[in-house]
Every structure is written in structure tokens, then in C-alpha cells.
Amino acid sequence: MSSVFDDLVGQEHIIDILQKAVAASRTGEESQEMTHAWVFTGPPGSGRSSAAVAFAQALICPNNGCGTCSDCNSAKTSGHPDVEIIRTEGLSIKVEEIRELLTRVAWAPSMGGWRVVVMEDADRLTESAANALLKAIEEPGTRTVWLLCAPTLHDVLPTIRSRCRHLQLRTPSLQAVTNVLINRDNIAPGMADFAARVSQGHIGRAKYLATNESVRSNRKIIMQLPLQLGSLAAAFQAAQTLVDLATQEANESSDERDEKEIEKLQEAYGKGATGGAKAVKELEKEQKSRATRMVRDSIDGALLDIATFYRDVMMVQSGATESMINTDMREQIENYASSHPTHSTILKINAIMDARTNLAQNTAPLVTCEALMCRLAKP
Ligand SMILES: [Zn+2]
């Protein structure tokens, strides 16, 4: 029989725990297996929110998460009265949003079982929002199950994480990702292998790359940047290229969505109504902050790609060539490795990681990339 847990690639170690929790949840009581607060952590792309959503489905499905019934389907698309999936588009989750959520989930579950709240970005809770949430988690007997997702346990307030059961997802193996792309997404084996390798276990990214030619050609341009840093002028040019491509990629995916959202909102208010204009303005503000975040995420992805170039260079310099990520650039990587000192490769990888940290702290993207490219341009 099929199950919502089938899609969790490389996470066999937590599926057993979740299935036991689902079985125990049928008593309607809390127990050693079934608790009402969980934290799912794992590297980007490991599927922490997919795991949490699958668990939510299994908890409300009469067949323990069959993946095909109406409860399973509506839970996945946020259409189930007893399942809330909180996806954050902005940079933070504010206390007002949590208060509003708490009034929504204050009612008893409509089907008599559990109410489940999945919070995909618990790391973005402001401190006051986290404290409001904490009160709700501490309240006994509400029959609400909290499934929080975050990159690491450190991203969650200690007072909250101490009340949650923790599940750590793994980065799926290269082979596991390749198999999913071939079997689930019907991608040709050669392309699946390439996409899985350069995405380093990030399934969503791998699929995006394998099915999108313009994304692949952008990546190719980005991967050539380390080879074009012959002068400071070239370094500044490379930074500009990186930011331009990342912005373009982010905008392509958000423009269409923005328009649809505004249309929907206007429909809801009726064109020309007075309340509508204000709501549209609010929405546009939110869309702007989401766009900023998407550009940052996109630059971060490009920086991780460039890091794989230097990682491969270091592998060659240390004599380990069999685990090369960018096999399509083997000759260029080998040339670079033999004409640059090993110690500078390590400094360059560190420089990329510093730039990512700065970017996450909201420094101006172009300035950050310029400073980085200047450091990478050194021999
Ligand atoms: Zn079901």
C-alpha cells in the first residue's frame, strides 16, 4: 500500500518513529510515542517541511497517511479544516501573525482527532512571536500538534526546543536523489546524474535544474566566473554578472505569482472598492519583501555553486579526483589546481562562506559579491 512517507527520500531513520507516533495517536492521548510538539531539522533540500507535512497527513488520514484519500489531499494543500501549513514569504514571522494563528486554532478539531500546525520556517520567528507560540505549546490538552521546521536546533528558541521532540533529517545520497529523478520525475539517467551531483542532495534544486534549460545555462555562466578573475575590473564585472543572473532567476519565478495574487485579492474585494486599494498596497509591500528574500536565496545558491568549483580544485590538489562534483569541467579544474597554491583554495572557500554569512545578515548583495570576487581574484 502506498504511503505519504514513500516520498521522503533517504529518511528511513525517522519514518519508523513517525509511523509509531501515528499508531499511538489513535488513542487520542499523548504517550511516549506521540507528543504534541516536534521540531524537524535538516539541511536545505533535505525535505524537512515535506516530512512534517507527510506526518500531518498521516495524523488526520483514517488510513494512517494513504496519500490518496480526500483528507490526505486537502491536508497537503492547506485545504483541510484541521491542518494549517504556515509558509513564510517575508523575512520574519511577527507576533501579530502568531496571535492571529492562535485564535484560529483555538477551536477543537472539527473531525474529533488532532489539529495539526506545520510551521515551515520556525527559524524566522521574532523573539516576541516565539514567546507567544511558547505559551500555546505549553498549554495542556489542546489536541493541537505543533510541527516546527528549522535548519538546525540552534535556530529555535531554547525554551521552545526543550518542549519538542527533535527529528534530524539527513542529506539524501547522490544515488537516492538520482533514482527519484529517474523514477518519479521521468528524467533521463544522464541528466538525473548531473543534476543530482551538482545539487548535492538538494532534491528540489536537482529537479528544477534537470527540467529547466535556462537555469542550466545560467549555472554554466556562473561556474565559469572563477576562471575569469584576471584583474580587479574583471572581478567587479563577475560580481555584477552574478547578481544580475540571480535577480533575473528570482524575478522570473515571482512576477507571475505576484500578478495572480493581486488579481485574486481584487476579485475578493470587487474592483474599485475602497478597502481593496489598501489591501493591495499591503500585499505589494509583502511581495516586495518576498522578492528581496528570493534574490538573496538565489545569490546564495549561486555562491554555493561556485564553492563546489573550489571544492573540486581542492580535491584535485589533494589527489582525490574520484569524487569530483563538476565532472563536466574536469580539464579546467585540473588546470586551475596545478597553477594555484593549495592554501589559497582554502582561503577562497572560507571567503565564500563569509560572504554567505554577510548576505544572510542583510548586507547589500552587490557590495558583498564585489568584496568576495576581489578576494577570489587573488592568486
Ligand atoms: Zn489518506
CA of 71 to the centre of ligand 1 (A): 6
pLDDT score recorded for residue 181: 93
CA of 69 to the centre of ligand 1 (A): 4
Q: Which three cell numbers stand for residue 114?
A: 488532532
CA of 62 to the centre of ligand 1 (A): 6
CA of 16 to the centre of ligand 1 (A): 18
Q: For residue 141, what are the CA distances in angstroms to 51, 82, 98, 110, 136?
A: 24, 16, 19, 16, 11
pLDDT score recorded for residue 90: 67
CA of 88 to the centre of ligand 1 (A): 26
Size of the chain in residues? 379
**Distance between CA atoms of residues 19 and 11, nearest Å:** 13
Residue with cell 512571536: 129
pLDDT of 295-339, one tens digit each? 898 999 999 999 999 999 999 999 987 789 999 999 999 999 999
CA of 57 to the centre of ligand 1 (A): 7
pLDDT score recorded for residue 274: 65
CA of 70 to the centre of ligand 1 (A): 7
CA of 179 to the centre of ligand 1 (A): 25
CA trace torsion 246, 356, 257, 101 (10° rounding): 180
Residues with C-beta atoms within 5 A of ion ligand 1: 61, 66, 69, 72
How much is the pTM?
0.73
Q: Which three cell numbers stand for residue 301?
A: 545558491
Q: How many helices (H) and strands (E) does the chain have?
A: 15, 5
Q: What is the pLDDT along the chain (379 residues), one digit of tens a residue?
A: 679 998 888 898 999 999 999 999 988 788 888 999 999 999 877 889 999 999 999 999 999 999 999 999 999 987 899 999 998 766 688 899 999 999 888 777 877 688 999 999 999 899 999 999 999 998 877 789 999 999 999 999 999 999 999 999 998 889 999 999 999 899 999 999 999 999 988 888 899 999 999 899 999 999 999 999 999 999 999 999 999 999 998 888 777 777 877 777 777 777 666 667 777 887 788 788 778 888 898 999 999 999 999 999 999 999 987 789 999 999 999 999 999 999 999 999 999 999 999 998 888 999 999 999 999 998 8
Q: For residue 297, what are the CA distances in angstroms to 287, 291, 360, 374?
A: 15, 10, 9, 22
CA of 73 to the centre of ligand 1 (A): 7
Choose among 297, 318, 302: nearest CA to 362.
297
**Distance between CA atoms of residues 57 and 145, nearest Å:** 12
Residues 6 or more apart in contact with residue 161 via CB below 8 angstroms:
39, 153
Cα 45–Cα 49–Cα 50 angle in degrees, nearest 5? 85
**Distance between CA atoms of residues 252 and 60, nearest Å:** 36
Q: For residue 156, what are the CA distances in angstroms to 38, 46, 270, 313?
A: 11, 18, 41, 36
pLDDT score recorded for residue 273: 62
CA of 264 to the centre of ligand 1 (A): 30
CA of 272 to the centre of ligand 1 (A): 42
Choose among 240, 198, 199, 202: nearest CA to 368.
240
CA of 59 to the centre of ligand 1 (A): 9
- Using an 8 Å Cβ cutoff, are 117 and 84 in contact? yes
CA of 195 to the centre of ligand 1 (A): 32
CA of 5 to the centre of ligand 1 (A): 11
CA of 66 to the centre of ligand 1 (A): 4
CA of 266 to the centre of ligand 1 (A): 35
